[in-house]
Structure 1
Amino acid sequence: MWGSVIAVLGTLLGSVTAYVLQQRTARTDRADVRRHEERRDRIAAVTALVAALADHRRAMWVREDLRLSGAAEADYQAARAASHNTRSALTAPLTMLAVLAPDLAGVAREAAGATYALRGVEDREVLDLYRRAAIEAADDLVRAAATA
C-alpha cells in the first residue's frame, strides 16, 4: 500500500513540476515576443520620424532657396504649402516616438528643431549650414536609437 501512495505522490509531483516548467517557459516566450515587438515598433517609429524629417528638411530647403533667389511668388507659395504639409507630417512620428521611446524624445526634438531652423535664414550659405546641421541632428537620432 505504501508503494502505491508513493507512486501516486511521485506522479502528482511530476505533473506539478511539468506544469510549473511549462508555465515558466510560456511566460519567458511571451516576454521574448513582447521585447521583439517593442523593438520593432521603436525601429518603425524612428524610421518614420527620420523619413518625415528628411521630407521636411528638403521642403524647407526648396522653400527658402526660392525665397532667397527671388523666385516667382506663385512658386514660393507652392513650396510654402508643401513645407506646411511636411511639417504637419512630422507630428505623428514625433509623438509616436515620444510614447514608444521616451529616452529618445529629447534627441528627436533636437532633430526636429534643427530642421525647423531652416526657416527664414539670411542667405544661402547659412541655409546650407543649417541643412547640414539638420542632417547631423537626424543622424544623431539614428545613432541614439541604435544604442538604446
Structure 2
Amino acid sequence: MLTTLVTAALTIVATLLGAIVSGRFQERAAERQVRVTHGETIRRDRLEVVTALACAASDHRRALWMRSDAVLKGAGTDRIETLRGESHMTRSAVTRPLVALRVLIEDPAVRAAADRMITLTYAIRQAIPAATADTDREAAKQRLTEAREAAKVAHDTFVDTAARYLSPAMPTAAPHPTPEEPTR
C-alpha cells in the first residue's frame, strides 16, 4: 500500500512538473512570437515612413523646379501663383513623414541623411531668381539645375542610408561596407 501511495504521489508530482515546464515553454514561445511580430511591425512602419518622406521630398523638389522654370520663362502671374500654391502644398506634405521618421528612427546616419535631403530640397527655393529684365537667365538656370542635382544626390544618399539601416540582419552575411571602410 505504501508503494502505491509513493508511486501515485510521484506520478502526481511528475505530472505537475511536466505541466509547469510545458507551460513555461509555451509562454516563452508566445513571448518570442510577440517580439517578432512587434519587430516586423516597427520595421514595416519605418519602411513606410522612409518611403513617404522620400516621395514627399521628390514631389517638393519637382514643384520647386516647375515654379522656378516658370519664373525663368517669364510665365504669367496666374501660372506662377498656381505653382507657388502647389509648392506650398508639397512642402507641407514633407512635414508629417519627417516628424514620423524622427519618432520611429533614432539612427543618427539616417536622420542626418534625411536632414541633408530636406535642407538641399528647400534650398532650391533660394535658387529661384527674381524675374527681372536684367536677369541672366542662363546663369540662373545653371544655379537652379545645380541646386536640383544636389537635392537629387542627397535624396539618393538618404534612400541608400535608410536601406542599409532597414536591411534585415543576416547572421551569415558580411556587413555592408561603409563609404569610409574599404571593401575586401
Asked if 1:116 corresponds to 2:133, the answer is no
Aligned to 1:3: 7
Instruction: Give distance in 1, aligned partners of 2:126 and 2:158.
Output: 24
1:71 counterpart SS class: coil
Pairing partner for 2:156 from 131, 134, 139: 139
Q: What's the CA shift for 1:99?
A: 0.6
**Over 2 Å off, 4+ runs:** none
Amino acid at match of 2:119: G
Q: What's the CA shift for 1:97?
A: 0.8
Aligned to 1:65: 69
Contact 1:64 1:120 in 2 (8 A): no
Q: What's the CA shift for 1:70?
A: 2.0
Q: TM-score normalised to the size of structure 1? A: 0.95
Contact 1:49 1:94 in 2 (8 A): yes
Instruction: Give distance in 2, aligned partners of 1:4 and 1:23.
Output: 28
Q: What's the CA shift for 1:105?
A: 2.4
Contact 1:52 1:89 in 2 (8 A): yes
Aligned to 1:43: 47
Q: What's the CA shift for 1:77?
A: 1.1
Q: 1:15-54 to 2 correspondence within 5 Å?
A: 15-54=19-58
Q: 1:71-82 to 2 correspondence within 5 Å?
A: 71-82=75-86
Cα deviation 1:25-74 (Å, max 9, x = unaligned): 00000000000000000000011111101110000001111112222121
- The CA RMSD over aligned residues, in Å, is 1.1
Identity value in percent: 37
Q: How many residues align?
A: 148
Instruction: Give distance in 2, aligned partners of 1:23 and 1:146.
Output: 34
Higher mean alpha-carbon deviation, 78-87 vs 96-105, is at 96-105
Q: TM-score normalised to the size of structure 2? A: 0.77
Which of the pair is proportionally richer in helix? Answer: 1
1:44 counterpart SS class: helix
Could you tell me which runs of 5 or more consecutive residues in structure 1 were left unpaired when the two chains were aligned.
none
